[in-house]
């Protein structure tokens, strides 16, 4: 039996360059979304101190809302 943790999309963090490519939008569009608080971002991820990072699930929610 496997008792390991199950990973979900919300567990994956991406840098802004990767996140904009993943979402299929321009880097500036993603930065604007973060600035206008449409996408939550953090600089506190322990593996990337000082770099803005977003969760994959946040990017998914934002791109789905833009398509409506």
Give tens-digit pLDDT for 42-52.
887 777 778 89
Q: What are phi and psi of 58, to 5 degrees?
A: -65, -40
Model pTM?
0.77
Q: Which of the four pLDDT bands, split at 50, 70 and 90, describes residue 2? A: low
Give me the phi and psi of 30, to 5 degrees please: -70, -45
Backbone angles phi, psi at 38, to 5 degrees: -90, -25
Domain positions in the chain are 11-67
Strand partners, 14: 54
Residues in Cβ contact with 26 at an 8 Å cutoff, skipping those fewer than 6 apart: 20
The pair of structure tokens assigned to 40 is 């939550």
């Amino acid at each position: 039996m496997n008792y390991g943790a199950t990973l979900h999309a919300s567990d994956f963090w991406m840098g802004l360059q990767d996140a904009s490519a993943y979402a299929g939008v321009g880097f500036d569009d993603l930065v604007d979304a973060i600035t206008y608080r449409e996408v939550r971002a953090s600089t506190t991820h322990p593996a990337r101190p000082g770099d803005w990072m977003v969760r994959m699930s946040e990017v998914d929610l934002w791109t789905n809302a833009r398509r409506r």
